Chains A and B, each alone.
Chain A
Amino acid sequence: MTTPAVELIDVRKSFGHLEALRGVSLRIEQGEVVAILGPNGAGKTTCINLMLGQRRPTAGTARLFGLSPEDRRARSRCGVMLQESGLLGQLRVRELVDLFGSYYPHPLTPEKALAMAGLEDQSRMQASKLSGGQRQRLYFALAVCGDPEAVFLDEPTVGMDVEARRAFLDVIRQFGESGKTIVLTTHYLEEADELADRIVVFDQGRVIADASPSEIKSQVAGKKISFVTDAPVPEAYLAGLGVTRVESDAGRVRMLSSTPEDVLWRLHQCGVEIRDLEVTGVNLEDAFVSLTSRQTAIGS
C-alpha cells in the first residue's frame, strides 16, 4: 500500500460554537480524482482547509502525503486553487507564474504552465488588469506551475463561461489521466459527474456518501420522467403515485418516480397528451438533492 495523498482521521473542527466538521475520516490515494460536494455550510471548504494546513483540526489528525499539512515538504507536492485569494497585482502574469514556480523544487517552465491555462496571450499583462475568467485561469496556472502531484481546486470554474469551463475541465481530465491526484469541490454537479472517479458528499459536517458517481446515482431509486405537453398537468392526476420533484416549465414536465409505467398509464388514462417522452436514470443532481434532503429530514 502506498502513502495516501490525503488522510483525515476522525477529524473534528469547531469555530467557537459552530461545529463545522463532526468526525470525518477520509483517505484519498495517490492518483484518485475526487469531487467533494455538499450544500453551502456543509463543511467542504473547511475540509479542504484542513487537508492543506490552512486550518488545524480541533480533534483528530490530518495528513498530506503522510506528513503534517503544515510541513513545507508536503506542500511542495501540492498545487492549490482557493476560493479566496489575492495577488501582487502589479506583477505580470508570467512573472507571477515564475514566482510561484520558484516555491517548488521542480517547477514547470512558466511557458508550459501558461499554455496549460490558456494564458499565453496574456503573459505580459499585469494581473490586476485581467478579466474575471482570465484571473481564474491565472490561479489555475499558479496551481499547476510547480508540477505538483496533487492539485486541490476549491470551486474552480466560478465565473467562467461555457467554453472556458470546458477547456478547463479538459485540462483537469488530462491531469487525472496522467496519474495526478485531484481533489475538487464544486456546485456544478455535471462537472463532478464528468470528472470524478469518486464523489464524497458532505452534509452538516459529516460525510453522507462516498462512492463513484454511478453508485451514488443508483442509490436513489427510480427514474426521471420528462415530457412535453400543452396544458399544465393538475396535481390531482399524480395523486398517490409517489412521484417526487415535479417541475413544470414552459410546457416541459419533469418528475422522479420509482414506478414510471404506473405514472405513464395514469397520465394516459387522464388524457394528458405526451410528446417527446423520456424515461431516464436519475442524474447526479437528482441523487444529490435526494441524499441531502433525506439527511435534513433525519437530522433535524
Chain B
Amino acid sequence: MSIAELKFDVAPLPSVMWKQTRAQLLSSLRIPAFSLTTILLPIMFFAFFGLPYVHQTIGNTNITVGPYVMASFGAYAVSSAMVFNFGIGVAMARGQKMDLLQRATPLPSGVAMAATVVNAMVFALISLIALFAFASIAGGVSLPVGTWLTLTLRLLVGAVPLIGLGMAIGYAAGPNSAPAVTNLIYLPMSFASGLFIPVAQLPAIIQKVAPYLPTYHYGQIAWNAVGAPTESMESAVIWLGAWTVLFFALALRFIRLDQSRKFS
C-alpha cells in the first residue's frame, strides 16, 4: 500500500526544453505580421532616419551618423522585441488560457517562460543581423569585427531589464488592453531616450526626464560600443541593474497574483 511499488518516470528536461522552444519559435515565425514587423521595422527606421546622412559626422564628435543611427535602431529592435514579445505575447497566451492546459500537463513550470525568453532572444538576434546587414550593404556602414560583436552582445544582455518590463505588463494586463498598454509605455519611453531623435535635439523637459529611463541607458551602452560619446559604462550598468531589479520584482508580484487567482 506504499508508493514504492509505483515507478515514476519523467521526460528529461533538456528534450522538453528543446521541443517547447522550437514549437514556440515555429509558432512566432508563422505569424507574418509579427515576424516581419520585428525584422523590417528597424530597417525601415534606419532607412528613414539614417540613410540620407549616413556619412555625415555628428556635431563635434568623430563618429558618423551611420553607425550611430544603426546602434539606435539596434537598441530599438531588441528592446521592442523584448517588451512586445512579453508584454503582448504573454498577455495573449493568458487570455487564450494556454497556461491552464499547460499546467495540467507534466510540462515543468518555468519551461514555457524560458522558451519565451529564448524565442525573444532569437528574434532580437535575427532583427539585429538583418539591420546590420542592411546598414553595411545599403548604408556602407563599416566597423571592426570586434565592434559588431560587442554591440550585439551588449544589446542582447542589456535588454534583460526590458524582459522584466515586458513580463510585468504581460501578467498585469489582460489580452485586450495589453497592446495598448505596451505601446503607451514603450513608445514614449524609447522616443524620450533618444532612440529616434538624439536627446540633445529633444525639448528641454524631455531631456530632463531622459536619464531616468531604462531605454536611455540601454541606448548609451549601444552608442558607447560604436564609439559615440556617452555616460560612463559603470553608470549605465548601475542604472540598468536597478531597473532590472525593479521590473522583475514587479513582474514577480503580478505573476504571484495571477497564479493565486488561477491556481490557488
Complex A–B touching at CB under 8 A: yes
The number of residues on chain B lying at the interface, defined by a beta carbon within 8 Å of a beta carbon of chain A, is 36
- Judge if B263 is at the interface, Cβ distance under 8 Å: yes
State which of B68-76, B102-110, B151-159, B187-195 sits at the interface with chain A: B102-110
Does A76 contact B10, Cβ atoms closer than 8 Å?
Answer: yes
State which of A96-104, A108-116, A179-187 sits at the interface with chain B: A96-104
Q: How far is the CB of A139 from chain B (nearest CB, A)?
A: 8
Chain A hits for B96, CB < 8 A: 86-87
Interchain CB contact (< 8 A) of A99 among B19, B93, B97, B264: B19
Interchain CB contact (< 8 A) of A3 among B5, B31, B97, B106: B5
Interface of A is mostly: loop
Chain A interface residue bracket vs B: 35 or more
Does A104 contact B26, Cβ atoms closer than 8 Å?
Answer: no
Cα distance A300–B257 in the bound complex, in angstroms: 35
Cα distance A104–B16 in the bound complex, in angstroms: 9
- Judge if B101 is at the interface, Cβ distance under 8 Å: yes
Chain A hits for B264, CB < 8 A: 55-56
Cα distance A180–B28 in the bound complex, in angstroms: 37
- Residues 1-44 of B contacting A (Cβ, < 8 Å): 1-3, 5-6, 8-11, 15-16, 19-20, 23-24, 26-28, 30-31
- Judge if B149 is at the interface, Cβ distance under 8 Å: no
Chain A hits for B100, CB < 8 A: 54, 82, 84-86
Q: How far is the CB of A100 from chain B (nearest CB, A)?
A: 6
- A2-B5, A3-B6, A86-B93 known; A80 vs B105 contact (CB < 8 Å): yes
Cα distance A54–B260 in the bound complex, in angstroms: 11
- Judge if A75 is at the interface, Cβ distance under 8 Å: yes
Chain B hits for A77, CB < 8 A: 8
- Judge if B113 is at the interface, Cβ distance under 8 Å: no
Q: How far is the CB of B245 from chain A (nearest CB, A)?
A: 29
Cα distance A126–B27 in the bound complex, in angstroms: 10
Chain B hits for A90, CB < 8 A: 26-28, 30-31
User: Total contacts A to B, CB within 8 angstroms?
Assistant: 110
Does B27 contact A146, Cβ atoms closer than 8 Å?
Answer: no
Does A86 contact B101, Cβ atoms closer than 8 Å?
Answer: yes
Q: Which residue of A lies closest to B6 (CB)?
A: A3
Q: How far is the CB of A102 from chain B (nearest CB, A)?
A: 4
Does B108 contact A91, Cβ atoms closer than 8 Å?
Answer: no
State which of A65-73, A194-202, A269-277 sits at the interface with chain B: A65-73
Q: Which residue of B lies closest to A98 (CB)?
A: B19
Chain B hits for A103, CB < 8 A: 11, 16, 105-107
Interchain CB contact (< 8 A) of B104 among A73, A82, A87, A102: A82
- A54-B100, A80-B105, A104-B11 known; A66 vs B3 contact (CB < 8 Å): yes
Chain B hits for A96, CB < 8 A: 23
- Judge if A220 is at the interface, Cβ distance under 8 Å: no
Cα distance A55–B9 in the bound complex, in angstroms: 24
Interchain CB contact (< 8 A) of B98 among A65, A87, A100: A87
- A76-B8, A102-B11 known; A88 vs B23 contact (CB < 8 Å): yes
- A-B pairs with lowest CB-CB distance, top 7: A86-B96, A105-B9, A66-B3, A73-B8, A90-B30, A86-B98, A80-B104
A-B contacts besides A52-B104, A87-B98, 19 pairs, CB < 8 Å: A3-B1, A3-B5, A54-B104, A55-B264, A66-B3, A72-B10, A76-B10, A85-B100, A86-B98, A87-B96, A88-B98, A90-B30, A95-B26, A102-B16, A102-B19, A103-B16, A104-B106, A105-B10, A106-B9
- 14 residue pairs from A and B, CB less than 8 Å apart: A2-B5, A3-B3, A3-B5, A54-B100, A73-B9, A73-B10, A76-B106, A82-B100, A84-B100, A85-B97, A86-B93, A86-B96, A99-B19, A104-B11
